[in-house]
């Protein structure tokens, strides 16, 4: 880990980044001449450049003669990354008006525009109800222009949920379920497909633990998070393996200019305690640094961990944004995490997980022709150590059993708007390795990977036809081609139609290819199979979005997904010692299908959202339903803010997860339904109020009526919480 931290320091010096978003505005005092000026129109909330924004020149009133000729009403538009080139005829005495779909228009005087270096920020229009998304494309785009099914959870909704980690937030969404990991932890299912088949990203880069099959959403903090984007369906055409069932992208806030320190502390039921602090600021070089600590007397994935259960996470996140010149932008990130979990394993013994990891990346982008070129580097290292011992602390000499994973990835790409086409092309190379003592044939496995991808969104009036493909080659398991085709159409002023056909895949993991794990106590051996093929799926989806008023939006989406070559371990014989041998094979097919409905309304200081999802998921060979897939899930949320009452805000959420079958091994050794995970209905409440002097009080309750249905894998009892937040503790 020492060497890893040294590499992290080097990366932080260079600047690190996932998906690069253009730098936000910085005031400039020097007026630039027109042939030198190149500005940018950007999203104030995210810092992302706004493509196709219109900048209209407003000539000075009562101009006459040559002045009038020089100040005709003209306009220009921004390119694919929001870059703006003012018209040569513009000059002192007039002004500009800047507008873009989904944003509030803004007017500036000539002097304001020049003093800001023509860096112009726009705020999102809360009544447009059409968010900007980044996960489904290399460029930020309006949700209505994306054919694949998506959902976004914004910062206000994250705060209202009052949860400590990503699994708690996602568990409430219709069509999304959180399941237990092995032996503990939280995994995710999207529309019935989960675990290794859902790709989890942090700022566009993979989260740690996936290569070791040690995924756990409970370790992913929501500190400093601006929004979470969920792609409901395969997106392997852009992200490759693991994006077979969907993609979750946790997006943190970008740095802002000036200087500011915020802090928050919270205490709640089940021993929950947490604290975090954020410092942000800067000028041309901006930074945002967040440090957090949290612990709870509960273990994710265990319904009752007993009095010895304990989980603690320390995490650190930072983002750096540097406007190197008028042409070059650099965005950098660095993260560090340390975690300990403790739970009873029987015989007065406790199990201990100790996890630690870092990641860092750097991306540079500059305009080139009608678009922008980008290049990036991403490094990640993660360590996992399991031990068991009596008492509250693990044995001290377990370092030889430490498992680790390492990922190095470089990418280059070009994005441009060419006529009616929004084009993205790119190349990605990766080197990956894991070490897993006593679990792999040679304790260490590695591979190299190369991927080429291309996307095009072709605008034809009110219709956008999109297509893309990703070709992946890996020196261990071979190659795969994943295409996607979609169409969105504006049918009148208030209706959007969309449909997509997508190919997803999941490559066999290191352990599935090279397992060599002996469990004498369990009476079995787990062996890898080097000739596994990737799992593949075809997904068809179609939806209608109806927006009868600027304050109301409704959506209906239907989908069908056929997954082939599912990898499952099966019995293949007996070892000489008599132990049973299990080995993974491409042996199963599955189908998931259903529909979803959602509604959102914004009325003055109130907001209401509701959603429902139906899922039919079953194995093709046996006809049995898939394990723990609930057929019905729903959620309704209402929020109300009263500025006159010290900024009082009330949030109420009701969510339902229907009954689900529990599939296991029956008496004859075949799969069978062995139980039921009962229906779960919960109501969560939260209120917050400003106490003055930048202090806010927050209080809430989860599962108000303490519902505890049978068959659930995690702890779901009623929990109270209360906390204090200090905004702008220091600011200038």
Domain count along the chain = 2
Residues 580 and 475 in one domain: yes
Question: Which pair of structure tokens corresponds to residue 545?
Answer: 């979005």
Q: What is the pLDDT of residue 669?
A: 67
Which one has a higher pLDDT value, 131 or 594?
594
Q: What is the pLDDT of residue 67?
A: 47
Output the CA–CA distances (angstroms, integers) from residue 193 to 219, 347, 374, 397, in the order listed: 21, 36, 33, 39
pLDDT band at 312 (very low <50, low <70, confident <90, very high): very high
169 φ/ψ angles, rounded to the nearest 5 degrees? -70, -45
pLDDT band at 504 (very low <50, low <70, confident <90, very high): very high
Residue 36 has pLDDT above 70, yes or no: no
Residue 32 has pLDDT above 60, yes or no: no
Q: What is the pLDDT of residue 295?
A: 95
SS3 assignment, position 43: strand
Q: Which of 206, 125, 218 is nearest to 164 (CA)?
A: 218
**Of 82, 104, 122, which residue constitutes the final position of a domain?**
122
Q: What is the pLDDT of residue 101?
A: 73
How far apart are the C-alpha atoms of 136 and 142, rounded to whole Å? Answer: 10
CATH number at residue 100: 2.60.40.1120
Residues 292 and 428 in one domain: yes
**Of 79, 94, 122, which residue constitutes the final position of a domain?**
122
Residues 514 and 382 in one domain: yes
For residue range 618-633, what is the model confidence (pLDDT) as tens digits?
A: 999 999 999 999 999 9
Report percent pLDDT > 90 for the chain.
56
Question: Which pair of structure tokens corresponds to residue 258?
Answer: 């000036």
Q: What is the pLDDT of residue 578?
A: 87
In a domain, 145, yes or no: no
The DSSP string of 393-450 is S--S--GGG-EEEEEEEEEEEEEEEETTEEEEEEEEEEEEEEE-TTTBSSSEEEEEEE
Q: What is the pLDDT of residue 74?
A: 83
Q: What is the pLDDT of residue 410?
A: 98
Task: Mean pLDDT check: name the lowest of 223-227, 323-327, 556-560.
Answer: 323-327
Give me Rg for the CA atoms of the chain.
Answer: 26
Element (H, E) at 156: helix 155-161
Q: What is the pLDDT of residue 81?
A: 67
Task: Mean pLDDT check: name the lowest of 17-26, 44-53, 135-144.
Answer: 17-26
Burial of 560 (0-12, 13-18, 19+ CB in 10 A): middle
**Side-chain half-sphere CA neighbours of 145 within 13 A:** 23
Q: What is the pLDDT of residue 82?
A: 77
Q: What is the pLDDT of residue 664?
A: 86
In a domain, 246, yes or no: yes
Its pTM surpasses 0.75: yes
In a domain, 498, yes or no: yes
Q: Each residue of 26-61: b (16+ CB within 10 Å) or e?
A: eeeeeeeeeeebebbbbbbbbbbbbbbbebebbbee
Residues 115 and 234 in one domain: no
For residue range 543-573, what is the model confidence (pLDDT) as tens digits?
A: 999 988 878 899 999 999 999 999 988 888 8
For residue range 477-501, what is the model confidence (pLDDT) as tens digits?
A: 999 999 999 999 988 888 999 999 9
Residues 118 and 247 in one domain: no
The whole-number average pLDDT for the span 504-512 is 95
CATH number at residue 558: 2.40.170.20
How far apart are the C-alpha atoms of 494 and 56, rounded to whole Å? Answer: 26
Residue with tokens 């370790």: 219
Residue 704 has pLDDT above 70, yes or no: yes
Q: Which of 515, 528, 525 is nearest to 573 (CA)?
A: 525
Q: Each residue of 71-102: b (16+ CB within 10 Å) or e?
A: beeeebebbbbbbbbbeeebbeebbbebbbeb
How far apart are the C-alpha atoms of 616 and 595, rounded to whole Å? Answer: 9
Element (H, E) at 165: none
Q: What is the pLDDT of residue 45?
A: 65
Residues 297 and 436 in one domain: yes
Residues 114 and 221 in one domain: no
Q: What is the pLDDT of residue 640?
A: 92
Residue 367 has pLDDT above 90, yes or no: no
In a domain, 131, yes or no: no
Q: Within 464-605, where are the H helices?
A: 510-514
Which residues does residue 450 pair with via DSSP β-bridges, in sequence order? 429, 473
Q: Count CB neighbours of 667 within 10 A.
A: 7
Alpha carbon of residue 479 to chain centroid: 26
386 φ/ψ angles, rounded to the nearest 5 degrees? -110, 135
- Do 357 and 208 contact (CB within 8 A), yes or no? yes
Q: Which of 617, 642, 612 is nearest to 629 (CA)?
A: 617
For residue range 565-592, what is the model confidence (pLDDT) as tens digits?
A: 999 888 888 888 889 999 999 989 999 9
Q: What is the pLDDT of residue 80?
A: 62
Output the CA–CA distances (angstroms, integers) from residue 487 to 57, 149, 295, 456, in the order listed: 34, 12, 46, 11
Residue with tokens 């999109």: 466
Strand ranges (E), 10-52? 39-43
pLDDT band at 307 (very low <50, low <70, confident <90, very high): confident
Question: Which pair of structure tokens corresponds to residue 586?
Answer: 């491409």
pLDDT band at 214 (very low <50, low <70, confident <90, very high): very high
Which one has a higher pLDDT value, 392 or 240?
240
- Do 376 and 360 contact (CB within 8 A), yes or no? no
For residue range 179-207, what is the model confidence (pLDDT) as tens digits?
A: 988 888 899 999 999 999 999 999 999 99
**Of 69, 96, 122, which residue constitutes the final position of a domain?**
122
Which residues does residue 584 pair with via DSSP β-bridges, in sequence order? 569
In a domain, 87, yes or no: yes
Return mean pLDDT, the chain.
87
In a domain, 132, yes or no: no
* Separation of first and last alpha carbons in the chain: 37
Alpha carbon of residue 248 to chain centroid: 4
How far apart are the C-alpha atoms of 77 and 96, rounded to whole Å? Answer: 12
For residue range 78-91, what is the model confidence (pLDDT) as tens digits?
A: 876 677 888 888 88
Task: Mean pLDDT check: name the lowest of 233-237, 446-450, 668-672.
Answer: 668-672
Question: Which pair of structure tokens corresponds to residue 348?
Answer: 């007065």
* Residue 505 lies in domain: 217-731
In a domain, 581, yes or no: yes
Alpha carbon of residue 299 to chain centroid: 23
In a domain, 166, yes or no: no
């Amino acid at each position: 880990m020492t060497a890893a931290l040294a590499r992290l320091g080097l990366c932080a010096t260079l600047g690190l980044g996932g998906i690069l978003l253009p730098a936000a505005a910085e005031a400039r005092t020097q007026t630039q001449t027109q042939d030198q000026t190149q500005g940018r129109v950007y999203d104030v909330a995210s810092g992302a450049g706004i493509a196709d924004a219109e900048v209209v020149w407003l000539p000075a009133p009562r101009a006459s003669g040559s002045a009038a000729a020089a100040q005709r009403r003209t306009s220009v538009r921004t390119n694919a990354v929001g870059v703006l080139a003012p018209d040569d005829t513009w000059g002192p005495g007039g002004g500009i008006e800047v507008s873009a779909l989904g944003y509030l228009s803004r007017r500036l005087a000539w002097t304001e525009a020049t003093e800001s270096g023509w860096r112009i920020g726009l705020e999102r229009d809360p009544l447009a109800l059409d968010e900007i998304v980044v996960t489904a494309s290399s460029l930020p785009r309006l949700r209505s222009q994306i054919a694949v099914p998506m959902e976004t959870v914004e910062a206000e909704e994250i705060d209202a949920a009052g949860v400590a980690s990503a699994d708690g937030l996602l568990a409430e969404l219709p069509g999304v379920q959180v399941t237990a990991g092995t032996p503990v932890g939280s995994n995710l299912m999207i529309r019935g497909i989960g675990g290794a088949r859902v790709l989890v990203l942090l700022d566009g880069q993979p989260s740690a633990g996936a290569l070791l099959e040690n995924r756990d959403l409970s370790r992913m903090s929501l500190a400093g998070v601006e929004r979470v984007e969920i792609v409901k369906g395969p997106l392997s055409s852009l992200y490759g393996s693991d994006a077979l069932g969907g993609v979750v992208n946790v997006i943190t806030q970008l740095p802002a200019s000036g200087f500011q320190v915020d802090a928050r502390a919270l205490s709640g039921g089940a021993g929950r305690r947490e604290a975090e602090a954020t410092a942000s600021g800067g000028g041309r070089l901006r930074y945002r640094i967040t440090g957090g600590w949290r612990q709870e007397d509960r273990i994710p994935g265990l319904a009752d961990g007993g009095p010895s259960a304990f989980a603690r996470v320390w995490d650190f996140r930072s983002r750096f944004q540097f406007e190197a010149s008028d042409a070059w932008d650099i965005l950098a990130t660095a993260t560090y995490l340390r975690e300990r979990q403790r739970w009873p394993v029987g015989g007065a013994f406790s199990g201990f997980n100790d996890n630690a990891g870092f990641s860092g990346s750097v991306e540079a982008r500059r305009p080139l022709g009608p678009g922008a070129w980008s290049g990036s580097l991403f490094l990640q290292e993660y360590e996992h150590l399991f031990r068991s011992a009596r008492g509250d602390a693990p044995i001290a000499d377990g370092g030889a059993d430490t498992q680790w994973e390492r990922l190095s990835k470089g990418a280059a790409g070009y994005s441009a708007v060419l006529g009616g086409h929004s084009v993205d092309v790119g190349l990605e190379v990766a080197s990956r390795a894991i070490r897993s003592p006593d679990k792999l044939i040679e304790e260490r496995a590695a591979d190299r990977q190369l991927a080429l991808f291309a996307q095009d969104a072709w605008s034809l009036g009110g219709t956008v036809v999109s297509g893309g493909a990703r070709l992946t080659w890996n020196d261990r398991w071979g190659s795969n081609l994943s295409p996607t085709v979609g169409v969105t159409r504006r049918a009148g002023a208030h209706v959007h139609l969309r449909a997509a056909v997508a190919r997803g895949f999941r490559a066999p993991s290191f352990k599935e290819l090279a397992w060599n794990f002996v469990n004498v106590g369990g009476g079995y051996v787990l062996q890898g199979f080097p000739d596994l093929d990737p799992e593949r799926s075809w997904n068809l989806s179609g939806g209608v979005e109806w927006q009868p008023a600027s304050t109301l939006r409704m959506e209906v989406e239907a989908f069908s997904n056929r997954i082939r070559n599912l990898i499952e371990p099966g019995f293949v014989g007996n070892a000489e010692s008599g132990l049973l041998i299990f080995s993974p094979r491409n042996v199963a097919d599955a189908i998931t299908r259903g529909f979803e409905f959602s509604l959102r309304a914004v009325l003055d200081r109130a907001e209401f959202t509701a959603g429902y999802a139906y899922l039919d998921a079953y194995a093709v060979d046996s006809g049995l339903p898939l394990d723990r897939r609930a057929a019905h899930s729903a959620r309704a949320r209402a929020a109300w803010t009263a500025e006159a009452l010290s900024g009082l805000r009330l949030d109420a959420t009701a969510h339902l997860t229907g009954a689900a079958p529990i599939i296991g091994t029956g008496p004859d050794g075949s799969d069978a339904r062995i139980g039921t995970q009962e229906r779960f209905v919960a109501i969560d409440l939260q209120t917050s109020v400003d106490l003055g002097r930048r202090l806010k009080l927050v209080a809430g309750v989860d599962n108000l009526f303490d519902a505890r249905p049978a068959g659930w894998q995690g702890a779901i009892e009623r929990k109270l919480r209360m906390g204090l937040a200090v905004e702008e503790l220091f600011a200038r």
